Structure 1
Amino acid sequence: MKKLITTLVSVVLTMTVLTACGGKNSEAPSGSEGSSSKAITVRLGVFKNITHAPSYVALDKGYFQKEFGDNVKIEVLSFDNGSEFSTALATGEIDLGTVGPGPSTNQYVKSKNFRVVSGSNNGGAVLVVGKDSGITDVKDLVGKTVAIPTKGSTNEISLRLLLQQAGLKVTDDSTGVQIIARAPADTLIAMRQKEIDATLIPEPWGTQMEQEGIGSILVDWNKIPPNNGDYPLSIMVASDKFIKEHRDLVKAAIKANLQAIDFIEKSPDEAYASINNQLKELTGKAMDVELIKAALARCHITSDVSKEAIEEMAKVSIEAGYIKDITVDTLDLSEFVDLSMLEEVKSEK
């Protein structure tokens, strides 16, 4: 009996030691070998416009799936504006995706729980004026109504910078420029019906207004501030929680984004088809390929991110009242833009 008890104790002790040793592997830190061994779902946020073209191509060509691996399921969630996207990211509804710096910076200052990990597209917005508006110069916008996709958007920040350059103020009366928020599809209708005088809007909407003959482009994408169009309009962001738990998958997403950018540059005709496939998937409606081609000509698809441009736009958001309880002097975005993983992926090539 004594021998039996001794044997049982030895077995229990052995099992305890084995369990303890095995526990380190079962709870491996994110980014280590085998961290994504069990099936998970990655919730990817995307927009319904061409300025997010790399995400479309990466989805359509299977780059995301290839880099994530077979054990990862991708759940795509589409958004109409950056504020909704940024809120979803901050509250854990999505893990990563592409968004504009305006609304994402506004949200980051409040929640500080996600960061920029790569660029996707610089530029791609234009200032369109109505066909019979009589506007031939930015200074002619005094007393006029200009639409932007949503309050606090990157497009509104660019518009405010453009007005500042012309010495104009944003007001609620005819002494300055009145800014109203309209979804791009509603802006198109408003322009047709001459309910607005102008709009600063992302592609392909500007090109569509131009092609329809209801508006003309007063300030092309490469003259829109900051940096004459070379500013982040679409950036890849990821939640801190997702980075901590799945750093390897964030790097995989960055790699897929880089592959898509390269594909758009080297195989534009095939890229147009991929973009159209995803637009149809997200909106239920395909787009004329020539419209996609013309719109992409007004974008600079790149992984580059200008921290200085993001900071400049953030200061405009502070002055406009979108970022509260912080001053221009105390603004600190040093942890918001984290390109370390992008650099790691590029160095691994």
Structure 2
Amino acid sequence: MREKHARKHKFISICAILIMVTLAASVFITPSSNGKVTINIGYQSITAQTWGALIIKQQQLFERKLKVRYPYIDFNIQWHDEVSGSVINNNMLAHKYQIGYMGDMPSIINLYNGYLHEEYNSRLLAIDGKGLGGKNQSILVSQDSGINDIHDLVGRTVSVPIASSTHKMLLDILSQNDLLDKVEIINQDIPTAYNMITTGKIQALAAWEPYPSYLMQNDQMIKLIDGEVTGNDYLAGIMIDDDWAKTNSEYTSIFLSSIKESHEFLRNYPDESVKIISQESGFPPEVIANVLKNIDWEMEMTSSNRDTLKKNYQFLYELGLLKDFPVEAYLNTVKEKN
């Protein structure tokens, strides 16, 4: 969205009103009808890898930096807490959100949307949280299920959100144990899957943090197997509408600075981070403290991150959810780690 800051000019013509002020940073501001510049950001408080957004939101890092740079502009930063990356993707595709926090699979789909649709261009702006080597994903069963080993799932039903990193983790684990054709997999969100387990309609669920830690807290569920056995990193991307970003390059730069500060805060102030995330997400502090130990906060691209995203693209391609596109070129937009 192109934005312009207005001031009146006198013209010879009777209808004279055209407003255009060139800002020092070459960013043009178009205030909305109420005189505010609105920026919409989608995020997921139920996904631990995207908790960097909660720090920016609660600490108002973005707003404060914008106000320092543009003290004469009234900014309205709208945060939208969504249940999944697909919801955020749909809103970005419709140009309702300019920025979105999401898991690595939805990030690839967002890039594909940018490749596929002429009216939408996508950019991977930065990485948020990362579970190294498969941390923060696992397969859970109920405490009284009698299931104690992955091979006990033969002939049973496991729920997982299809096309998620957790789906890939589940398939990798089943493949490692020669169980791919011996277990039924159904597509459900995690809260629905938990309800299905409690009624005995399914026997296991695959989930990402903070769900496993939360469900195990009161001995409701036990961890059957940890995602670490796959050795696959699990990360989150921060996506941006590339047309908006290019038109508002200074805003984009300021948001990148906010991401960096949020990661520094998470690393340097763990206790305060736990309080903020608990307040914003509703999950208990002890659950959050446990989960944060397993998340690496590094916004830059690494060879490992690149390999993870390329493997995820291949996974989605094999599922038939997207066609061939130059994913490598779309991964070159993130600053490389030195």
Q: Could you tell me the TM-score, scaled by structure 2's length?
A: 0.79
- Give the conservation status (yes or no) of the 8 Å contact 1:103–1:154: no
Pick one of 96, 101, 104 that aligns with 1:101.
Answer: 104
Aligned residue pairs, count: 303
1:53-132 to 2 correspondences below 5 Å: 53-69=51-67, 71=73, 72-112=75-115, 113-123=121-131, 124-132=136-144
Give the CA deviation at 1:63: 0.9
Q: Equivalent of 1:143, from 140, 151, 155?
A: 155
**In the aligned structure 2, how far is the partner of 1:179 from the partner of 1:251?**
43
- 2:27 touches 2:249 (CA, 8 Å); kept in 1? no
Alpha-carbon distance in 2 for matches of 1:332, 1:140: 41
Q: Which runs of 5+ in 2 are unaligned?
A: 1-10, 116-120
**What per-residue deviation string (whole Å, max 9, x for no partner) do you get for residues 121-141 of structure 1?**
112222223323344443443
Task: Please tell me the root mean square deviation across aligned C-alpha atoms, in Å.
Answer: 2.9
- Alpha-carbon distance between aligned partners in 2 of 1:177 and 1:68, rounded to the nearest angstrom: 52
Contact preservation (8 Å) 1:44, 1:94: yes
Distance 1:129 1:51 in 2: 23
Aligned to 2:269: 267
Tell me the equivalent position of 1:8.
none
1:314 and 1:134, CA in 2 relative to 1: closer, same or farther beyond 3 A? farther
The structural deviation recorded for 1:316 is 1.3
Q: Which residue of 1 aligns with 2:7?
A: none
Secondary structure of the structure 2 residue equivalent to 1:42 = strand
- Aligned runs of 1:20-39 on 2, under 5 Å? 26=21, 32-36=25-29, 39=36
In the aligned structure 2, how far is the partner of 1:332 from the partner of 1:134?
Answer: 46
Query: Quick one: distance in 2 between partners of 1:138 and 1:322?
Result: 28
SS at match of 2:217: helix
Instruction: For 1:59 and 1:318, locate their aligned partners in 2 and report how far apart those are by CA, in whole Å.
Output: 34
Identify the residue that residue 42 of structure 2 maps to in structure 1: 45
SS in 2 for 1:336: helix
Q: 2: distance between equivalents of 1:130 and 1:301?
A: 32
Q: 1:133: which partner in 2?
A: 145
CA separation in 2, counterparts of 1:229 and 1:265?
A: 23
Provide the secondary structure at the position in 1 that maps to 2:244: helix
Render the CA deviation track for 1:169-202: whole Å, top value 9, x for unaligned: 2xxxxx4222222222223323333332222211
> What amino acid sits opposite 1:98 in the alignment?
Y
- The one-character-per-residue Cα deviations of 1:145-187 (angstroms, maximum 9, x if unpaired) are 2222x33222212222332333332xxxxx4222222222223
Structure of higher CA gyration radius: 1
Other-structure match for 1:208: 214
What's the CA shift for 1:221? 4.6
Report deviation, 1:107.
Answer: 4.3
Instruction: State TM-score, norm by structure 1.
Output: 0.77
Among 236, 255, 258, the alignment partner of 1:253 is 255
**Secondary structure at 1:48 match in 2:** coil
Indicate the SS of the match to 2:77: strand
SS in 1 for 2:126: strand
Partner amino acid, structure 2, of 1:54: G
Matched AA of 2:240: A
User: Counting helix residues as a fraction of each chain, which structure ranks higher?
Assistant: 1
Distance 2:62 2:137 in 1: 26
Question: Counterpart amino acid of 1:314?
Answer: Y
How big is the shift at 1:42?
0.8
TM-superposed deviation, 1:75: 0.8
